[in-house]
Amino acid sequence: MDYVEPTPDERQRAANAYAFWILALPEFAATARPSSGWFRGHIRQAAMLGLFETILFLIVLALPAMAIGLLVAVRVPVGIVATMWIYGIGFVLDAAAVVLQIMLGFALAARAARGERFTVAFLPRR
């Protein structure tokens, strides 16, 4: 199969899907307009990346509560100051996760807008 150059519209829609992964979901619906293999691959990859990032972010958000729960379960006395420190560190981790997600999303969106063919290393390939 020959490589078909993506149209400017496909490149922009793929870039939008990387920047805001929820925009990839309507692209899975059957549409009247045909799309290139490049576009379908990037939409699939953007949706998988978004789901992966969302699950990972939910885990990072839950880390302080899980740490407190674990400490209470093993009967370690957790005071107010320790709880505040745990949640403070959790807040910093949450902020770092958001910044990394935004940076990765927009970096991949820029590559998709240029029409590049690439894969995200930590996602499963088809």
Is position 103 within any domain?
yes
Q: Which residue has the tokens 């922009």?
A: 12
Phi-psi region at 16: left, alpha or beta (left = phi > 0; alpha = psi -120 to 50): alpha
For the beta carbon of residue 64, count every other beta carbon within 10 angstroms.
Answer: 19
Single-letter code of the amino acid located at 14: A
The tokens describing 91, both together, are: 């807040």
d(CA 101, CA 76): 34
Single-letter code of the amino acid located at 61: L
Is position 28 within any domain?
yes
Is position 120 within any domain?
no
Is position 124 within any domain?
no
Q: What is the pTM of this model?
A: 0.84
Query: How many structural domains compose the chain?
Result: 1
pLDDT tens-digit series, residues 7-20 = 899 999 999 999 99
Is position 118 within any domain?
no
Check residue 33 and report its DSSP letter. Answer: S
pLDDT tens-digit series, residues 44-97 = 999 999 999 999 999 999 999 999 999 999 999 999 999 999 999 999 999 999
Is position 97 within any domain?
yes
Is position 119 within any domain?
no
Question: In which domain, by residue range, is 68 found?
Answer: 8-113
Is position 16 within any domain?
yes
